Structure 1
Amino acid sequence: MDDFKMWLITGGGAAAAFGIGKWVLPMLSRMLDNALASVTAGGETLANVRSERDQLRALLSDLREKYDAMFREWAEMKARVGLMEYQLEEAQAQIAELKGIPPQPKGESHA
């Protein structure tokens, strides 16, 4: 019986080795080749993604600079409009004073 177990184990080991050599190793080799091809393609894809990301960052930076310039210009215009409104109110007050019209609270018209 011990000889039978030994032959069974030896035969099973040989069959397993044969199966591993015949089917499992080639399958693992193909899986490795596919994985390497995928990584290589993934590397190219990654390079493309990084390139597009860098282009988008440059575009975003350019747009941010343009936005900041437009915002500064808008702020300057708003300040000028505020100054003109103040000067207009002062001029209206002076005209009203020259005409002898009593001063009116802000926000009311002089009509």
Structure 2
Amino acid sequence: MTDGQITEQVRPIDTMDVENPVTELQRGRHNERETITSAGTNVDSFFQQCDLAKSRSPRPIIVYTIAFEAPGTPEQQMRDCASSPSHFFKADGDSIADVFEAIAYQIRQLRLTQ
């Protein structure tokens, strides 16, 4: 499930800075952070994990994904990671409960047939 883009991973240079719990590193604190991994590296890792889960032998893992109020690239990434088009869901605040109910229904159907 995502609510936005896969981005670079950063951490504060001074891990004990009192601003860390209250002020985002991404906004206005560029000189107080260090980049751990780039956005491109994180996207590649995301898709490697998706592919690994779906290709596990002898039984692949069924991957359900949800793009929660995340149109564009994040939605496409979730769509590409899902096991099939029927395992991808687009949701907003009004439909998120219905999405989880639909996933639960699909999982119950799997139990009945396997």
Q: TM-score, normalised by structure 2?
A: 0.20
**Larger % of helix: which?**
1
Larger Rg: 1
- Provide TM-score, normalisation by structure 1: 0.21
